[in-house]
Amino acid sequence: MAAHPRNRPPSALQKVLSEYRLSEAALARMLGVSTPAVAGWENGRRPEGREVRSKLRRVQGLLRKAAGVMKKPYVRTWLKKPNDACAELGARAPIDLLQRGDYEAVEDMLFYLGSGVSF
């Protein structure tokens, strides 16, 4: 017999949402999917499509990298905070880069933040 949903351990997605204090809407934006899609995943449905699952893994990795160079509670703020590095790339904030699928730019930003090298 299956466990009642309330007794089910949190999924990896639920952990990401709570660990980084992200809203479903913010995660949906980073993945380029709808908020109801993320809500469905949070309720046990599996993300559909190899591309979406790949994006989800990549975003999870980026969040871990961000937490490695800043305090975890600040990651949510950093994602939405406008900065000059993003402006040079035609975006307002890191979440905008993620929304358009520019994961490498965010990885580069996190590398530079962690290395102490200014760019």
pLDDT digit string (tens) for the chain, length 119 residues: 444 455 666 677 788 888 999 999 999 999 888 999 988 888 877 777 788 888 888 999 999 999 999 999 999 999 999 999 999 999 999 999 999 999 999 999 999 888 876 65
- The per-residue pLDDT for 1 is 42
Asked whether the beta carbons of 98 and 62 are under 8 A apart, the reply is: yes
pTM value > 0.85: no
Domain range summary for the chain, segments of one domain joined by +: 12-115
